[in-house]
Amino acid sequence: MKDISTLKTLVNQITKDEDLKLIAAKVLEGNRLSEEDALLLFEKANPSYLGLLANFVRTQKHGKKTYFNRNFHLEPTNVCLYTCTFCSYSRLIKKREEGWEYSLEEMMEIIKKYDDQPVTEVHIVGGVLPQYNLKFYTDLFTSIKNHRPDLHVKALTPVEYHYIFKKAKVSYAEGMAKMKAAGLDSMPGGGAEIFHPEIRDEIAGGKCSGEEWLAIHREWHKLGMRSNATMLYGHIENYNHRIHHLSSLRKLQDETGGFQTFIPLKFRNKGNQMSHIEESTTIEDIRLYAISRLFLDNFEHIKAYWPMIGRQVAQMLLAFGVDDIDGTIDDTTKIYTMAGSEEQTPAMNTYELVQLIKQAGMEPIERDTLYNVVKEYKDHVFEEDKSFKGYVSLPVAN
Ligand code: V47
Ligand code: SF4
């Protein structure tokens, strides 16, 4: 890595703006950025400036290490009683005939299909329905754990938890403790959308509020458990809404330290009630990822979820603060392109994923959910398992 005075010289060549020079000095000296700094970055910073700084932070934290995992997705239902305007997934109103609602037995059949595969995680995500109550989910988690104890259960979001705890009349603390006892290992980052009520009420009205989302993660972290966080950006929110969201996450992380990864999710406009809204440009995407890396100084990881952002943009983002690109994918049957993500075939086997990371000059590392190293691919030669396919699908619910 270049030394700090060299980087300061480079910054001075890239920008003549005094605000941006001061912000760069803060980053290079390891000082926290304020919300005002974040706004200036959103308003004024260009990608080369942001790339330089975000890559500095990324390199300090992880060097060239770039993580991925092998997981698969279990979707209990694609029907949902909520009607988020950005959702292309729920079959409540449109295409009801394409809806499915699996029983516990059917879900266990899906789990068993992966018995002989080297997956480390099942990511459970879907819609919200009354029959999927607290007992249903505790039974499901326990059944999975009884069947395959080493499979990490990363499941549901505060959207479901808020709904089922309210119906069962238990507090968030009690409810999350029950989930842990049943076998839940971690919580994915979904359902966050944009916390600010000005936007949330417009796009995700009816489901848990931003405060409630944060409160459920807080209780989960208090149990010593880990979770992820997301932000759905690029629709009707403005920079201040984004900063409010990022700042809320940073505050909770200061309090609990329980978040592992932040995953920006670019709004995709196909097949939903917000199709009239233009998608953000790649430049805006790059800027958002880099600013997230700079602002969220207490988050270890920034993930680009490649099935949504596209594999080429994901590859490029490795130079803009991203150190994780989620998983390998095999299950091509369902919902990947529903919201218009650019992947034609959203399958990338381990060989392709490793190549993608190496081509960006980075070092691929297969991890488990908690970022323990499963395998380093830096010097790995792919003779034996070139044809191996990994597993993931694209969860766009919650
Ligand atoms: O909460 C829904 C988003 C999220 C659209 O934690 C959309 O490891 C873009 O959270 N355009 C669910 N995004 C997915 C999610 C996730 C994915 C991968 C990994 C992890 C993790 C979490 O998908 C929803 C919502 O914000 N989403 N519709 C759309 N049209
Ligand atoms: Fe339901 Fe989630 Fe879709 Fe909203 S985003 S309608 S909560 S499945």
* Pocket lining: 77 vs ligand 2, CB cutoff 6 Å: no
Predicted local distance difference test score (pLDDT) of residue 205: 81
Which ligand sits nearest to residue 263's alpha carbon? Answer: 1
- pLDDT the model gives residue 86: 95
DSSP assignment string, 179-192: HHHHT--EE-STT-
**Mean pLDDT, residues 372-380:** 93
303 CB under 6 A from ligand 2? Answer: no
| 319 in contact with ligand 2, CB cutoff 6 A | no
Pick the ligand that lies closest to the CA of residue 203: 2
pLDDT at 398: 54
Atom of ligand 1 nearest to the CA of 192: 1
The domain ranges of the chain are: 4-53, 65-394
CA 311 to ligand 2 center in whole angstroms: 25
**222 Cα: distance to centroid of ligand 1 (angstroms):** 24
The answer to whether the CB of 395 is under 6 A from ligand 2 is no
CA 384 to ligand 1 center in whole angstroms: 34
Q: What are phi and psi of 90, to 5 degrees?
A: -65, 140
Q: What is the pLDDT of residue 384?
A: 54
Q: What angle do CA 311, 213, 228 make, to 5 degrees?
A: 35
Binned at pLDDT 50, 70 and 90, residue 382 comes out as confident
pLDDT band at residue 388 under the 50/70/90 scheme: very low
Farthest CA pair distance, the chain: 63
Q: Is the CB of 80 under 6 A from ligand 2?
A: yes
Return the ligand 1 atom nearest residue 231 CA: 26
Of 92 and 192, the structure prediction assigns the larger pLDDT to: 192
State residue 97's pLDDT score. 76
Ligand 2, atom 4, lies closest to the CA of 84
What is the mean pLDDT of the segment spanning 33-49? 98
Is the Cα dihedral 91, 95, 101, 107 positive or negative?
Answer: negative
Reported pTM: 0.93
- Measuring CA to CA, which residue among 38, 58, 105, 67 is closest to residue 244? 38
Q: Is the CB of 159 under 6 A from ligand 2?
A: yes
Q: Probe ligand 1: pick from 232, 260, 278, max atoms within 8 Å of CB?
A: 232
Sheet with 71-74, strands from edge to edge, namely 71-74, 121-124, 152-155, 186-187, 226-233, 259-266, 301-302
Q: Identify the CA nearest to 327 among candidates 271, 269, 261.
A: 261
**Please, are residues 195 and 210 in contact by the beta-carbon 8 Å criterion?**
yes
What pLDDT was estimated at residue 123? 94
200 lines ligand 2 (CB under 6 A): no
397 pLDDT band, cuts 50/70/90, is low
Q: How confident is the model at residue 241, as a pLDDT? A: 98
Q: What is the 391 CA–ligand 2 centroid distance (Å)?
A: 23
Give the Cα separation of 390 and 395 in Å (integer): 16
Overall size of the chain counted in residues? 398
The DSSP letter of residue 279 is P
How many angstroms is it from 120 CA to the middle of ligand 1?
20
State the pLDDT at residue 98: 77
Q: What is the per-residue pLDDT across 314-368, written as a single tens digit (0 to 9) for each?
A: 999 999 999 999 987 554 334 334 455 544 445 678 888 999 999 999 999 999 9
List the CATH code of the domain at 65-394: 3.20.20.70
Quick one: pLDDT at residue 340? 53
Ligand 2: residue of 128, 157, 161 to mutate (most ligand atoms within 8 A of CB) is 128
d(C-alpha 171, C-alpha 134), whole Å: 12
Task: Answer for the pair 27, 56: CB distance below 8 angstroms, yes or no.
Answer: yes
Residues enclosing ligand 1, CB less than 6 A?
Answer: 86-88, 188-191, 193, 228, 230, 232, 263, 265, 267-268, 272, 305, 308, 326, 339, 395-396, 398
pLDDT at 246 over 80: yes
